Every structure is written in C-alpha cells, then in structure tokens.
Structure 1
Amino acid sequence: MSANVCCSNSVVQAQKLVDQLRLEASMERIKISLTAADLVQYCQDHRRSDPLLTGISASSNPFKDKKTCVLL
C-alpha cells in the first residue's frame, strides 16, 4: 500500500507542476527592451527627488542620532 501512496503522490505533484508550467507558458510577456526603456525614463524623471542621488539633509534625516555618545 505504501508504494501506491508514493506513486499517486508523485503523480499529483507532477500534475501540479505541469499545470503551473502551462499557466506560466500562457502568460503574455513584455519585451525587456521596452521595460528597460521605461525604467530608464522613470529614473530620469524622478532623479531630483531620489535620496540616493541627492542625499538627505541633516535636518530631515530620521535616522540621525539624537544625542552623541560621550565616554567619561
């Protein structure tokens, strides 16, 4: 009985894999060149507000230490 359960379990897993692959194969894909061009345009449009490019001012930085550490 254990062999039958094992075989039926692997058949179920294989069927799930086939269903997943069919689903992925039927998805409509976007060409990478179009997506890359959109990404470049978005980055260029928003570069003035990008903190990685412009930096964060010390007054508006929420991660700035409130107090300095002093050792006596």
Structure 2
Amino acid sequence: MDVYCSNNVLQARRAVEQLRLETELQRIKISAAAAQLVQYCQEHRRADPLLTGINASSNPFRDKKTCVLL
C-alpha cells in the first residue's frame, strides 16, 4: 500500500468518526433556538452597546482632540 492510498484511508476513517460523533449530538428545533435567542437579547439589552450606545467618556474609539493652527 503506498503512502497516498494509506493517507486517503486515514482521511476517510477520520471523516467517518466525525460523522459518528455528529449523529450523537442532541439538536434543538430552530423555533426553540430562535425563542432562546430572542429571550437572551431581551434580557441583556441594557448592556448591549449597539442598542444603548457607548458613553463618550468611556469610548476608546472617540475622536481625539486635535490642535488646529490657523
């Protein structure tokens, strides 16, 4: 058996093992996942800077004051 063939066999075995692991996973329905995501977002909306904005004094990306010469 050459190296190329044994490499293909090894890759196929890894793929089969990965598929076996994935079949054992417990999946939830999309509607349940969506409901959980909405609930999480609602519970944490006060701490979400995309919804509440960032306080100007604590914003690391605010514009630096520059000196303008006229």
Structure 1 unaligned blocks of 5 or more: none
Structure 1 vs Structure 2: percent identity of aligned residues?
A: 71
Give me the CA root mean square deviation: 2.0
Which consecutive unaligned segments of at least 5 residues does structure 2 have? none
C-alpha deviation, 1:11, in angstroms: 1.0
TM-score by length of 1: 0.76
TM-score scaled to structure 2, two decimals?
A: 0.77
2:10 corresponding residue in structure 1: 12
Higher alpha-carbon deviation: 62-71 or 36-45 = 62-71
Which residue of structure 2 lines up, in the alignment, with residue 44 of structure 1? 42
| 1:17-72 residue CA offsets vs partner (Å, 9 max, x unmatched) | 11111111111112221111011011112222211111112122122233225355
What is the rounded CA distance, in whole Å, between the counterparts of 1:30 and 1:69 in structure 2?
57
* Distance in 1 (alpha carbons) for counterparts of 2:66 and 2:45: 33
